[in-house]
Structure formats: structure tokens, C-alpha cells
Amino acid sequence: MATHAGSNPYSAPTARVDDVATGDIESAEEIRREYLKHETGIRSAGTLYGLYAIFLLLATLVFAAGAVMGNDPQTPRAVGIIMVIFCGGFFWLFYKLASGLRRQKQWVRMPVAVISGIGLLGFPLGTAINGYIMWLVLSKKGTYVLSPEYEAIVAATPHIKPKTSILVWIFLILLIPLVLAIAIPAIMGR
């Protein structure tokens, strides 16, 4: 079971890592199972950010092709180059955040919270998704799952595998055709 550090209600709970170090795998398994749903949610948010990254990579390539070919008389080549830099930068950002969320790294909490805060403006779907992601990384459980203590517990319990929820699979199945419906006309020249 996890214990909470100090009297600060916002501090991350701390695991009894000494149990893991002395080989008390049952305690580590108990803690891991307690937080497994939250861990799965954070990993799923990483998958979603990875999909954003793929979409941004496609946009970067489309703008790069447009900047190289320069066929559109209404769009100066400089605008295409600026869009390549803009989309490429966001591609890199979302790729790094997706990787950090999937590997449950502590440093992703604040950047993901900021991006989710901005994403709250995308009412109604963006508000719901980004509100959920913000809750995942900023809640007590999220703070703990993204902590070095929990990372030690994950390392001590490699036989426990998080499973992606059916809702995430349904969301992905619905999202992929939407991304393709947007990307294919953009690639084919509108």
C-alpha cells in the first residue's frame, strides 16, 4: 500500500521502495495493481499524443511539398516554410510527450498539463479529452504513477502488464478514419 509523504496534501505519495529492494514482491504487486488503471490511462494518453504527432508529421510533409513545389500562387513559399517549421516543431513536441507518457516519465506532467489546458478550449470534445488527460497527470494517482518510486515498482513487477481499455480501442478506430479523411485530400492537392 502507498503512503503519503509529509503533511502536504499535494505531495506525491511515496511507495515503500525498501519492500521492493528486499524482495517483497507481493507488496510491489499490490501497489502496482492498485494504480494499474491509472497507469493504463496515462499510457493511453501517450498513444493519443503519438497520433497527434503522426498527424503533425503528415502536415509537415504536406507543407514541405508545397514549399518545394511552390505551385499555389495564393500562398507564398515563405508561408509554406513557416508552416513546415511550425508543424515540425509541434510534431517534435508531441512525439517527445507521447514517448514520455508511454514510459511514465515525471517530467511530462507540467508540459502535458499546459497543452491540456490549452486543449480545454476545444469545446466539447477537446474539453472532455483534455480535461481527462489533465486529471490523469495532475491527480494524486497521476503524480504517483509518474514518480521515480512507481518506476521502481514497475521495474520490480515486469510480469504485470497493463491492458488498453476497450474504450481507447474504440476511440482509436474512430479517430484513424477521421485523420485519413483530413490527410488524404491535403496530400492529393485538395
Q: What is the mean pLDDT of each run of 10 residues along the chain (190 residues)?
A: 56 55 74 93 92 90 83 77 94 97 96 96 89 96 96 92 76 75 67
Measured between alpha carbons, how far is 136 from 115 in angstroms, rounded to an integer? 13
Q: Give pLDDT, residue 186.
A: 66
Measured between alpha carbons, how far is 74 from 85 in angstroms, rounded to an integer? 20
Q: Give pLDDT, residue 30.
A: 92
Measured between alpha carbons, how far is 174 from 34 in angstroms, rounded to an integer? 30
Q: Give pLDDT, residue 141.
A: 96
Q: Give pLDDT, residue 163.
A: 78
Residues 6 or more apart from 40 whose CB is under 8 A from it?
162, 163, 164, 165
Q: Give pLDDT, residue 39.
A: 95
Where are the strands (E) in the chain, listed by range? Answer: 3-4, 13-14
Residues 6 or more apart from 23 whose CB is under 8 A from it?
none
Residues 6 or more apart from 31 whose CB is under 8 A from it?
1, 2, 15, 150, 153
pTM: 0.74
| CB of 126 closer than 8 Å to CB of 134 | no
Q: Give pLDDT, residue 189.
A: 63
Amino acid type, 83? M
Integer Rg of the chain from CA: 20
Burial class (CB in 10 A: 0-12, 13-18, 19+), 66: buried
75 conformational bin, left if phi > 0, alpha if psi -120 to 50, beta if neither: beta
Q: What angle do CA 122, 123, 125 make, to 5 degrees?
A: 85
